[in-house]
Structure 1
Amino acid sequence: MDWLARAATLRQWTSKGVRAPHKPLLLLYALARHQQDADRELAYTAVEDDLKRLLAEYGPRGRTSPAYPFHHLVSDGVWEVRTKGGHGSPGTNVGDLRASGAAGRLAADLRSSLRSDPALLGRMARTVLDLHFPPSLHRELCDAVGLEIEDAETRPLIPGQRRRSPALRELVLTAYEYQCAFCGYDGRIGAMPVGLEAAHVRWWALGGPDEVANAVCLCSLHHKLFDKGVLGVSDEHRVMVAQRFVGHSAAARDHVLALTGRPLLGPQPGASPIAPDHRSWHTDQVFQGPARPAAAA
């Protein structure tokens, strides 16, 4: 059984670039629980709050039920559900899952493969992370679900898998003249820039192209906040700060809240600005709007 291929081809509802990370999040969670106790079943009532938190933190805006992936992941052959009445899920109704004593865990064949090849767990996790989330969130996601994996041993091994462009970072940093487009940070050690990154606007994991028109130069802090949806870019190429963000310290005010409404720094003349369709995708799928009014800064 090619479990890496199964991890790479989870069936998901898709429409016009809408993010649907429900199954990937549950699979990461299940891999972590298997790593901790390979024989333990996960009662829906025991994990419902954990899954709800993960979906709220790493899913798109809007109300989402953890019952959806708990039921539907079975169709991908990596997950199984049983109730007090036997094998099989009662559906996506939360009340039915609770009342039936539904419990899930990784499919029996997958558990057997993980016992015979322990490194498979890390490779599956890395495949899911690379295909559904930006690199800035990978370590945080592993910590959130309780996964322990080593980067060096978990590079995905899917033949023909799309590769990131190694040239993009230099192209983007040059376009933005080696400064964060949000705050202007331009630190260097000698001739080498430090703490500056090429941030994809439409996530590479979800089909975003490796091109300057789909990227922006950001410092490490603002890249992370951009990928978390705290920060965004308006149609007028100004920084948006989500109203949901709360920070009372001077650092939070200076490094985040003070950015509200600030025009982007760059790109330089002749370089491609962020394309409208990529900017709209980020606003719809990642930004935790609504945005703060500029006067609130």
Structure 2
Amino acid sequence: MDWLQRTAKLRQWTRSGTRAPHKPLLLLYALGRFQEDADGALRYSAVEQDLLRLLTEYGPPNKTTPAYPFHHLVSDGVWEVYTDRGPGSPGSGVGDLRATGATGRLAPELRAALRREPVLLGRIARLLLDLHFPPSLHSELCEAVGLELEPTETEQVSAVRRQRDRRMRELVLTAYEYRCAFCGYDGRIGAVPVGLEAAHVRWWAFDGPDDVENGLCLCSLHHKLFDKGVLGVGDGHRILVSQRFVGHSAAAREHVIALADRPLIGPQPGARPVSAAHRDWHTRQVFHGVARPATAV
């Protein structure tokens, strides 16, 4: 059985690039727990808050429940659920899962395959990360679910991936004249830019193209906050800062909160700005909460 192909084809509700990472997050969490205890199982009532935190932190801004993937992942052949009454999920209702002592774990065939071929776990995890999340979030997401991946497990699974355009970084950084579009940071070591990255506005994992109209030159801090939904780009190419972000230090106020409603820096004349379609996708699928008003100077 090709577990990578099965992982790549998880059934998800999709429409117009809508993010639905419920099943991938549960599967990543289950892989992390398997790595810790290959014989263990996940009682819904015991892991519900962990799963809810993952969905809140790494899912889209709309409300959701971990009961949905806990029940529906069974249909993909990688997960099983049993209750105090026997095998089979009682349904996707939170009350049903709690009341029946619903417990889930990786499907028996998958557990056997992971025992036979230990490197398979890392390949499945990397595939889930590549298909559903931007690279800036991979390390912290692994930490959040308790996954430890070997360096050799970071290689791409080319059979299920389209190829990235390696020219994008240079094109985007050139368009923004090697300055962060949010704060203007332009650090270099000699002639080499340091701490500057080409960020996809519409994530590459969700068909975001490798071109300037879908890119921003951002410093490492603002790239991470952009992918986490703390920052966004609104109408008129003005910076959005989520009201959900809390920071009381002078640094947090200066480097994040004070950005609210500022115009982007760049791109240079003649370069294409971020397209409205990609900005709209990011606002709907990644940006969390309501945008702060401009801060008083």
TM-score, normalising length: structure 2: 0.98
Assess if the C-alpha contact under 8 Å between 1:176 and 1:266 holds in 2.
yes
Q: Distance in 1 between matches of 2:24 and 2:62?
A: 18
Query: 1:243 corresponds to which letter in structure 2?
Result: Q
Assess if the C-alpha contact under 8 Å between 2:231 and 2:239 holds in 1.
yes
Q: Counterparts in 2 of 1:1-297, with a 5 A limit?
A: 1-159=1-159, 161-295=161-295
- Find the residue that maps to 1:202 and give its secondary structure: coil
Assess if the C-alpha contact under 8 Å between 2:260 and 2:293 holds in 1.
yes
Assess if the C-alpha contact under 8 Å between 2:172 and 2:198 holds in 1.
yes
Q: Distance in 2 between matches of 1:206 and 1:165?
A: 15
Displacement, 1:206? 1.0
Displacement, 1:163? 1.8
Displacement, 1:80? 0.5
- Find the residue that maps to 1:101 and give its secondary structure: coil
Q: Distance in 2 between matches of 1:120 and 1:268?
A: 46
- Find the residue that maps to 2:104 and give its secondary structure: strand
| Dislocated runs of 4+, deviation >6 Å | none
Identity rate of aligned residues, in percent?
Answer: 72
| Deviation per residue, 1:122-173 (Å, 9 max, x gap) | 0000000000000000000000010000233342334252122111000000
Q: Distance in 2 between matches of 1:29 and 1:156?
A: 20
Assess if the C-alpha contact under 8 Å between 1:5 and 1:158 holds in 2.
no
Assess if the C-alpha contact under 8 Å between 2:8 and 2:160 holds in 1.
no
Going from structure 1 to structure 2, the CA distance change for 1:108 and 1:278 (only over 3 Å counts) comes to same
Displacement, 1:261? 1.3
TM-score, normalising length: structure 1: 0.98
Q: Distance in 2 between matches of 1:160 and 1:143?
A: 25
Q: Distance in 1 between matches of 2:73 and 2:158?
A: 21
Query: 1:285 corresponds to which letter in structure 2?
Result: Q
Q: Distance in 2 between matches of 1:41 and 1:34?
A: 8
Assess if the C-alpha contact under 8 Å between 1:4 and 1:158 holds in 2.
no
| Deviation per residue, 1:51-94 (Å, 9 max, x gap) | 01100111111221100000000111110101111111011011
Q: Which runs of 5+ in 1 are unaligned?
A: none
Query: 1:39 corresponds to which letter in structure 2?
Result: D
- Find the residue that maps to 1:185 and give its secondary structure: coil
Q: Distance in 1 between matches of 2:164 and 2:152?
A: 17
- Find the residue that maps to 2:199 and give its secondary structure: strand
Displacement, 1:296? 5.2
What CA RMSD, in Å, does the superposition of the two structures yield over aligned residues?
Answer: 1.0
Going from structure 1 to structure 2, the CA distance change for 1:100 and 1:296 (only over 3 Å counts) comes to farther
Assess if the C-alpha contact under 8 Å between 1:260 and 1:296 holds in 2.
no
Assess if the C-alpha contact under 8 Å between 2:258 and 2:295 holds in 1.
no
Count of aligned pairs between the two proteins? 297
